[in-house]
Amino acid sequence: MARGADFSRWNEVDDYEATAGALDFAWVKVSDGISGRNVGPWHVAPLRRAGARTGGYHFARTHRTPEVQAREFVAELERLDALELPGALDLEEAAEHGFRVDTAASRAFARDFGIRFLRVLSECRVRRALYVNEYFATQLRPWEWGVPGLLLWVANYSRRPSVPHTVWQRSKTGRLPGVVGDVDLNESTTDFWRITVAVSQNGYTANDITFTENTLIPGTERKIRLRKGPAGELLRWFAGRFDALVETIDNDGELDDWGYAERPIRGGTELSNHASGTAIDLNAPEHPLGAVGTFTAAQVRTIRSLLDQAQGCIRWGGDYVGRKDEMHFEIVKNEAACEKALAAVGGGGDEDMQADERAALFDIREQMTGSRKPGEYPGWASKANPSKKYTATDFARWADYHAFKAHMKANETLALLAKQAGVTAEDIAKALRAGLVADVLPVLQEVVVDALGADNAGQAEAIADLALAKLGAALTPEEV
């Protein structure tokens, strides 16, 4: 039995590490059809660090096209690296722009929306899931939509759903260690996040984007999605050297360099090595499939020297016996061989940068975003609670959250005081503003004069007045 939960901005987690061991998987609301709404993606990295496989879901809305919403969703999944679970489309009723299934027209709309949204995920090579409650499922029958590999995640809070499903959302009032209040609980009888059946021509597991990462090629601004681990790292090294010594791949943002590409499995057909992230196409239009002699003799010599350095782990499509494919380079040995070759060429680092400089830069990025894999980056210890560690992003979100809470509390208190004193909140604010003018203005003017010099005293007073006006405005109660 696999246990999971789902999280949104409404879930407050005071100790992510406490969820370790209680969660095999976690879906986090990372986007909402209402553009720009803050939905909770900050849960992803800490849940992953606590050991849960993480994925994202999108709360769909009816008033914008499924294509636009799907692309926003995929961008968030990529940004957060929330791709260990299929990306889930959440179709449900809502106060604003929600879905309905009570008429033939509303059902047709929801079904069409779902199919179009999921098609974009497929084009972006993101695995697909659909979240609905059991009533929606019986009305929409998504298992008949013809969407290959669609994982169904169905809610029913009283009993196991009787419709097809892989994941069951069984409670919205569950409890979990480290989580404040109610949380949605899910379970599955399978380890559904593992999809390991497909294998590419060179023997690497295929058609699973979670084995890949979008990686920056050294010395360029070009990112190519390649397999994680030594095979992808070796191709990454090769692409960097190719760019430096053979020809640039960084040509004005033109997207002509390709790595991972999911391919459908047809009967008897071997999968391209692109389907496992172990093949790379460089400057495709200049070296089209089937063409020969697209590189100069000198360029070919350099390519051969690089292939030698890679100890035979990489094969060039220009050496194919049948139809040539000069843009194409692929891994033909196992990971142990790739690791050995990688060590021999210097670990795949950027030639312009020493290994320690690269590591330092990487560390800075990780301290900001915490996006490294579980356990590898601890973050900074909290001063308030030294047993907890946070990244800079965690701190910023925490500060933002508490600043908001403090603001609301201040308004509440002001209203309460006003009520008890039999005056209005505006009266109190006025009194505070008057106090500011009397006590703070002279000090403020002095400070500004000091800063600007006595010659600019007039200007300094104007600045101080302006600052004070802003302070006064900030004291005006908003929601009392």
* Residues contributing to the site for Zn ion (CB under 5 A): 281, 328
Q: How far is the CB of 280 from Zn ion (least distance, A)?
A: 7
Query: Is 224 within 8 Å of 258 (Cβ atoms)?
Result: yes
Residue 375 burial class via C-beta count within 10 angstroms: exposed 0-12, middle 13-18, buried 19 and up:
exposed
Nearer to Zn ion, 111 or 324 (CB): 324
Q: How far is the CB of 6 from Zn ion (least distance, A)?
A: 38
Nearer to Zn ion, 257 or 281 (CB): 281
Nearer to Zn ion, 186 or 278 (CB): 278
Q: How far is the CB of 226 from Zn ion (least distance, A)?
A: 12
Query: Is 426 within 8 Å of 475 (Cβ atoms)?
Result: no
Q: Would you tell me how many other CB atoms lie within 10 Å of the CB of residue 90?
A: 23
Query: Is 130 within 8 Å of 145 (Cβ atoms)?
Result: no
Nearer to Zn ion, 49 or 328 (CB): 328
Nearer to Zn ion, 128 or 328 (CB): 328
307, 228, 215: which is closest to 257 by C-alpha?
215
- Dist CA 68 CA 30 (whole Å): 15
Q: How far is the CB of 283 from Zn ion (least distance, A)?
A: 12
- Dist CA 132 CA 153 (whole Å): 7
Q: Would you tell me how many other CB atoms lie within 10 Å of the CB of residue 235?
A: 29
Nearer to Zn ion, 170 or 287 (CB): 287
Q: How far is the CB of 215 from Zn ion (least distance, A)?
A: 17
Q: How far is the CB of 241 from Zn ion (least distance, A)?
A: 18
Buried b (16+ CB within 10 A) or exposed e, 353-363: eeeeebeeeee
Q: How far is the CB of 317 from Zn ion (least distance, A)?
A: 6
Nearest 5°: the CA angle 257, 209, 190 is 170
Nearer to Zn ion, 243 or 281 (CB): 281
Q: How far is the CB of 261 from Zn ion (least distance, A)?
A: 8
Nearer to Zn ion, 176 or 235 (CB): 235
Q: How far is the CB of 126 from Zn ion (least distance, A)?
A: 21
- Dist CA 99 CA 96 (whole Å): 9
Q: How far is the CB of 54 from Zn ion (least distance, A)?
A: 31
Q: Measure Cα distances from 417 to 374, 405, 423, 424 in Å.
A: 48, 18, 8, 9
Give the list of residues 6+ apart from residue 239 with CB closer than 8 angstroms, or none.
217, 220, 222, 224, 249, 257, 280, 282
- Dist CA 343 CA 340 (whole Å): 5
Q: At what angle do helices 392-421 and 355-369 cross, to 10 degrees?
A: 20
Q: How far is the CB of 330 from Zn ion (least distance, A)?
A: 7
Helix/strand/coil percentages in the chain, nearest 5:
40, 20, 40
- Dist CA 260 CA 336 (whole Å): 21
Buried b (16+ CB within 10 A) or exposed e, 326-335: bbbbbbbbeb
Nearer to Zn ion, 261 or 467 (CB): 261
- Structure token digits, residue 446: 């002095």
Q: How far is the CB of 267 from Zn ion (least distance, A)?
A: 22
Nearer to Zn ion, 261 or 432 (CB): 261
Nearer to Zn ion, 135 or 258 (CB): 258
- Structure token digits, residue 82: 């929330």
Q: At what angle do helices 230-245 and 335-344 cross, to 10 degrees?
A: 40
Nearer to Zn ion, 80 or 314 (CB): 314
- Structure token digits, residue 7: 């999280």
The residue with its CB nearest to Zn ion is 328
Nearer to Zn ion, 58 or 328 (CB): 328
**For 155, which DSSP code?**
E
Q: How far is the CB of 202 from Zn ion (least distance, A)?
A: 12
